Structure 1
Amino acid sequence: MGNYDFDKVIDRTGTHAVKLEALKRLYGRTDLLPLWVADMDFETPSFITEALRQRLEHSLFGYTEMPDNYWPVVADWIESHHNWKVEQEWLTYIPGIVKGIGMVVNFFVKEDEKVIIQPPVYHPFRLTPQGNGRQVVYNPLREEADGTYSMDFDNLEAVTDEKCRVLLLSNPHNPGGIVWNRETLVRLADFCYKHHILVVSDEIHCDMALWGNKHIPFASVSAEAAACSITFGAPSKTFNIAGVVSSYAIVPNEEIRRPFYRWLEANELNEPTLFAPIATLAAFSQGEAWRQEMLHYIEGNIRLVMEFCMVHVPQIKPLCPQASFLVWLDCRKLGLNHEQLVNLFVDRAHLALNDGEMFGPGGEGFMRMNVASPRSVIRQALEQLAEAVRTLQV
């Protein structure tokens, strides 16, 4: 028995939680179990809440300076957990990782230049460059016989031209839960360095490796990787503080870092909100025991999904993630088109998941399930899904 209660069901109504408030707009109904937005339905750990509460007791919320120990604590966490020694001058605050992608696109990519993504992948990788008027180039991941994915370097060579300026890397991968191995990252770094392509590595799920897997920071694998990359990270997924917005960037190469950070500073985009440093310091200085218990609980939820589907819904094959609380469900054996698949989950099973087409080419026939909820909720969702699939066969 652990010290934290992940079985506790938290009522989030009245808190303006996106996963509840947006149901009607996105799914057309509100009577759904929300297993879509990538935040957790576990209580934010008490040591973070207490740190914020102590600050709230001083009822004056004016301009503040970054605490002196902030970047040393962040750097120590990265080194101790990922064996990557990060110099403090490499680090800066950013107001969110998707916002950071938008900043990189606007700063480094001209309007007639291109951004490479590797779908199926987190949908803002496509939407953010496109929304900023940049062309997106697809290098789809290659699906292997066992349902896992690998990078297609032959196709990457074929689709890359002199207009390609940035490649967006999801590391660990969302939605597939892949922990990219060193060989793959080194090969990607060599390619991008050779072609003068800046790699933006979104590593927000880096502290959520499962089953003994180890996350490898992209910039740590070689001198070439460090020279051609910007890394984004945050404690927000791991410690369930997405609403606090406590993201950071890491840029080892001074020639990239100096102009980019100067632009961030000029626009005051590198200044955190009052509560972001407080929450981050509490998470990274007191959070290891909570993190370990949370990951163990998530593994139990994933195991439940895998075993339940095998027995009760064999037409749906979950890909067991190596990291994160997101499970990629292969629903292609149901034989449904996109509209029918969405109807099955939403109108028959009364579940809100992210449909696979959202993640681009290769996502057709898949659904992404967030299993970071109390086990009773996950079990209820699976039972509703099994009953909905049974109705298809009547």
Structure 2
Amino acid sequence: MQYNFDEIIDRSTSHSVKLNKLKTVFGRDDLIPLWVADMDFLSPPAITEALIERTRHGIFGYTVPYDGYFLSIINWLKDRHSYEVYRNEITFVPGVVKGFAFAIDAFTKKNDKIIIQPPVYHPFRIVPEALERRVVNNPLLLENGKYSIDFEGLKGIIAENDCKMLILCNPHNPVGRVWNEDELIQLAEICYDNNILVVSDEIHSDLTLPGFRHRPFATVSEKAKENSITLMAPSKTFNIAGIVSSFAVIHNPEIRKQYLNYLAPRELDQATIYALAATEAAYNYGEEWLDQALAYIQKNIDFVENYLKEYIPQI
């Protein structure tokens, strides 16, 4: 099936954050809203159909995650990222930012130090600070237009600070780096050897452009697998952020138990009806849509690059 990504959808009456909050945030509402990471493409029809079908049932009582939900995640991660996970290693979380906020609460205490790698998505700083943790910056290096991890700087930070956690952005938002295997292995070694838990935000993993390969942090080494919490979601991938359909993958049983012991009493691991239905439909039937979307996005990037080279070469 060929999807129409040229179709322009009017979102002005849909209470979209990136449109409806423009004036509040920027003082005017005539701007191109590039400040929130959601797309203006229609989500895959399979997701819409699954939500309609579930709605037709007419009863919206408490619902437990079911086999089809877990299998859709397991199969997607295996087929798309060569990442093998098991049902008991997956838990629903109500958002990736909330997921690492819960990890901060579960594994650190007030005034503990948490490493982030700026320039990075602003909640990486805001959330730990709001939870009264101390943020330690390990800024990325910028050389010849390409960002990289400052490993020597990281080692220096760890030598001088008793850090408890590193929040990794993989792939990195906003610099766009898809970290390679060697980089992730080195990071895993440093953190494991210094007892620093890695919380890996991989929400953009499925939006890796053609020619690049996302490597889930937990797949690069045994140390990475045993010392990490991976946070993922179909939300950015399929433009369903408003449904809130994130999940955590935790291989180490002790880390998983501690995380679940934080979530369960607060009922933070309970998925909504629509999150379950949307996730299952997205991962079971959304691959063709995603491949076409990525090809379309790549053409947009090519257009911008060629336009700038021709008309604004000084940039």
Secondary structure of the corresponding residue to residue 57 of structure 2? coil
1:120·1:140 contact (CA, 8 Å) conserved in 2?
Answer: yes
Give the equivalent residue in structure 2 for 1:313. 312
Distance 2:235 2:79 in 1: 18
Distance 1:211 1:290 in 2: 14
> What's the C-alpha RMSD, in Å, of the aligned pairs?
1.1
Runs of 4+ residues deviating >3 angstroms: none
1:112·1:163 contact (CA, 8 Å) conserved in 2?
Answer: no
CA offsets, 1:206-235, max 9 Å, x none? 111112211000011111001110000001
Distance 1:80 1:287 in 2: 13
What is the Cα deviation at residue 125 of structure 1?
A: 0.5
What is the Cα deviation at residue 313 of structure 1?
A: 2.6
CA offsets, 1:171-197, max 9 Å, x none? 011111111000000000000000100
Give the equivalent residue in structure 1 for 2:286. 287
Give the equivalent residue in structure 1 for 2:53. 54
What is the Cα deviation at residue 37 of structure 1?
A: 0.5
Distance 2:30 2:57 in 1: 41
What is the Cα deviation at residue 246 of structure 1?
A: 0.5
Distance 1:216 1:177 in 2: 14
Distance 1:124 1:229 in 2: 19
Question: Which residue type is aligned with residue 301 of structure 2?
Answer: I
What is the Cα deviation at residue 23 of structure 1?
A: 0.4
What is the Cα deviation at residue 162 of structure 1?
A: 4.9
Question: Which residue type is aligned with residue 245 of structure 1?
Answer: V
Give the equivalent residue in structure 2 for 1:148. 146
1:112·1:135 contact (CA, 8 Å) conserved in 2?
Answer: yes
CA offsets, 1:68-126, max 9 Å, x none? 22112201110111111112111100000011111111111111211100111111111
Distance 2:183 2:273 in 1: 39
Distance 1:107 1:122 in 2: 22
Question: Which residue type is aligned with residue 275 of structure 1?
Answer: Y
Question: Which residue type is aligned with residue 48 of structure 1?
Answer: I
Q: Would you say how many aligned residue pairs link Structure 1 and Structure 2?
A: 314
CA offsets, 1:273-318, max 9 Å, x none? 11001001100000111010000000011111211222223343xx
Question: Which residue type is aligned with residue 147 of structure 2?
Answer: Y
Question: Which residue type is aligned with residue 218 of structure 1?
Answer: F
Distance 2:273 2:239 in 1: 18
Question: Which residue type is aligned with residue 81 of structure 1?
Answer: R
Secondary structure of the corresponding residue to residue 199 of structure 2? strand
Give the equivalent residue in structure 1 for 2:27. 28
Secondary structure of the corresponding residue to residue 34 of structure 1? coil
Give the equivalent residue in structure 2 for 1:159. 157
Specify the structure having the higher radius of gyration (Cα). 1
Distance 1:33 1:121 in 2: 22
Matching of residue 250 in structure 1 with residue 249 in structure 2: yes
Give the equivalent residue in structure 2 for 1:185. 184
Distance 2:24 2:313 in 1: 32
Secondary structure of the corresponding residue to residue 100 of structure 1? helix
1:239·1:291 contact (CA, 8 Å) conserved in 2?
Answer: yes
Distance 2:126 2:161 in 1: 22
Percent identity for Structure 1 against Structure 2:
49
1:181·1:216 contact (CA, 8 Å) conserved in 2?
Answer: yes
Question: Which residue type is aligned with residue 155 of structure 1?
Answer: G
Distance 2:86 2:49 in 1: 30
What are the within-5 Å matches in structure 2 for residues 9-88 of structure 1?
A: 9-88=8-87
253-262 or 289-298, which deviates more: 253-262
Which stretches in structure 1 are left out of the alignment for 5+ residues?
317-394
Distance 1:201 1:38 in 2: 18
Distance 2:33 2:220 in 1: 38
Give the equivalent residue in structure 2 for 1:216. 215
TM-score by length of 2: 0.97
